[in-house]
Amino acid sequence: MTVKSSQICAPIFIDGSALKISTLRLLNADGSLVDDLQAPDITEDMAGKIYSDMVYTRILDQRMLRAQRQGRLSFYLTCTGEEASVVGTAAAFSADDMIMGQYREQAALRCRGFTTEQFMHQLLSNASDLGKGRQMPIHYGSRELNFMTISSPLATQIPQAAGYAYGQKLAGNNACTLCYFGDGAASEGDFHAGLNMAAVLKSPVVFVARNNGYAISTPSAEQYAGDGIAPRGIGYGIKTIRVDGNDILAVYAAASEARAIAVKEQCPVLIETMSYRLGAHSTSDDPSGYRSHEEEEEWRQRDPINRMKNWLIKKNWWDESRDEQLQNKFHDEILHELKLAEKCPKPPLADIIDDVYKVPPEHLIEQLKSLQTHVAKYPDNYRTHGDGCQ
């Protein structure tokens, strides 16, 4: 099929910045609605759940960051500042929908019901970690919760999400896929391949580009020259919206509508959430080398959690004393589970050859035997933190 195009009679170029995408915003910082608009259809229970998941994620991140600094975890990475972008989208989807994340979406996993105990087992590489301790902290996954296991290489999940959603379309059960990635990952070849394939093959997938301003140290001004990620969706023929990622009502409204479109029309949708990575890229990073405290402070004033809290209080659905109680509850629960998880055993050595294939081939069984003999001879060389604890 050729593109139907009107004709022009002179070499008039369309400017690279001609397509400007507006940003959906419903909520002011003080919790009032923009221009007294109607809030999206959201029950008190749903609002409470969303808020609770955002607060939980913030506290989990603060506590685990501290645990990493204390040497109790090898690595950590926070979602701080982007809780509304993640919870607001995840909450709009059904439990049957697959989530394929990048790595900064622990809030979506919380939203799905991942327990504190499960978080701790993964972070500490315990025997009870669903991923068997093989991946770095924060690489969660759960088949039960339809949350695909995280992979560090960026953007690989984007074409996979297009394919997964195509399978869901063929299965005909009205489920779709929610796929997250960042503004940096959107520069990878896989992003372009994935969006184009989803559009051409009409996969029911909702892509969420978390535009948080930075890819490690690289600011978005050095990441792309156009108007963010959203216009690319339109370039691929995908329905697209940009939202204020720190505005929970805008994110939730857009995500609810996006899911409805993806499932009803069996096609992809792109949401770009404009936000800010308030923390470092990870515990291996120090943002003071590439951005100012003033800039961070400016964004801290737009904290998505405070904004939602102000709205909840205005609606008489929440108050400061309940807020404090909730925070204390999460603090205590996380600390308690961390301490318990630190006493749990690590995966057995024999696990090392499992899952390379469905059935370990002969050469791997031989390598394991030889390794076990060696480790038995030099036990002191191979003590793992947590060994011997039950």
Partner 1 sequence: MTEVTHMNLLQAVNNGLDTAMAADEKVICLGEDIGQFGGVFRATSNLKEKYGHLRCFNTPLTEQGIAGFAIGLAAQGCIAVAEIQFADYIFPAFDQIVNEAAKFRYRSGDEFNCGGLTIRAPYGGGIDGGLYHSQSPEAYFCHTPGLKVVIPSNAYQAKGLLLAAIRDPDPVIFFEPKAIYRASVGEVPNEDYELELGVAEVMQQGSDITLLGWGAQMIQIGKAAKLAAAEGISCEIIDLRTLLPWDRGTVVDSVNKTGRLLISHEAPLTGGFSGEIAATIQEHCFLNLEAPIARVTGLDTPFPLIQEKQYLPDYSKIYEAIKANLAY
Q: φ and ψ at 304, to 5 degrees?
A: -65, -30
- Is the Cβ of residue 39 or residue 364 nearer to partner 1 in the bound state? 364
The radius of gyration computed from the CA coordinates of the chain, to the nearest angstrom, equals 23
Catalytic residue selected from 139, 210, 259, 281: 281
In eight-state DSSP terms, residue 34 is: G
Helix (H) or strand (E) holding 87: helix 83-90
Catalytic residue selected from 290, 322, 336, 385: 290
User: 333: buried, middle or exposed (CB in 10 Å: 19+, 13-18, 0-12)?
Assistant: middle
Active site residue 277: yes
184 binds partner 1 (CB under 8 A): yes
210 binds partner 1 (CB under 8 A): no
Read off the tokens for 264: 């009803």
Residue the block writes with tokens 């560090």: 152
Stretch that binds partner 1, among 237-245, 259-267, 283-291, 301-309 (CB under 8 A): 283-291
Contacting partner 1 (CB under 8 A), which of 257, 285, 296, 323? 285
User: CA 354 → CA 23, 48, 359, distances in Å?
Assistant: 48, 42, 8
130 binds partner 1 (CB under 8 A): no
Contacting partner 1 (CB under 8 A), which of 367, 369, 376, 389? 367
- Is the Cβ of residue 81 or residue 137 nearer to partner 1 in the bound state? 137
365 binds partner 1 (CB under 8 A): no
Stretch that binds partner 1, among 34-42, 303-311, 328-336, 378-386 (CB under 8 A): 378-386
Active site residue 281: yes
**CA angle (358, 363, 366) in 5-degree steps:** 110
Stretch that binds partner 1, among 78-86, 221-229, 263-271, 320-328 (CB under 8 A): 221-229
Active site residue 51: no
Contacting partner 1 (CB under 8 A), which of 80, 125, 160, 275? 125
Bridge partners, 241 (sequence order): 271
User: Minimum Å distance from CB 66 to partner 1?
Assistant: 18
- Is the Cβ of residue 185 or residue 262 nearer to partner 1 in the bound state? 185
Stretch that binds partner 1, among 79-87, 234-242, 322-330, 373-381 (CB under 8 A): 373-381
Reduced 3-state DSSP string for 92-156 = CCCCCCEEECCCCCHHHHHHHCCCHHHHHHHHCCCCCCCCCCCCCCCCCCECCCCECCCCCCCCC
364 binds partner 1 (CB under 8 A): yes
382 binds partner 1 (CB under 8 A): yes
User: CA 128 → CA 132, 328, 384, distances in Å?
Assistant: 7, 26, 16
Contacting partner 1 (CB under 8 A), which of 52, 62, 187, 310? 187
Contacting partner 1 (CB under 8 A), which of 223, 240, 246, 283? 223
In eight-state DSSP terms, residue 215 is: E
Cβ-proximal residues to 75 (8 Å cutoff; 6+ apart), any chain? 68, 136, 137, 138, 282, 283, 284
**Residues involved in catalysis:** 277, 281, 290
**Where does this chain bind partner 1 (CB under 8 A)?**
74-75, 125, 132-136, 139, 151-154, 184-185, 187-190, 215-218, 222-224, 284-285, 289-290, 346-347, 349, 351-353, 356, 363-364, 367-368, 371, 374-375, 377-378, 381-382, 384
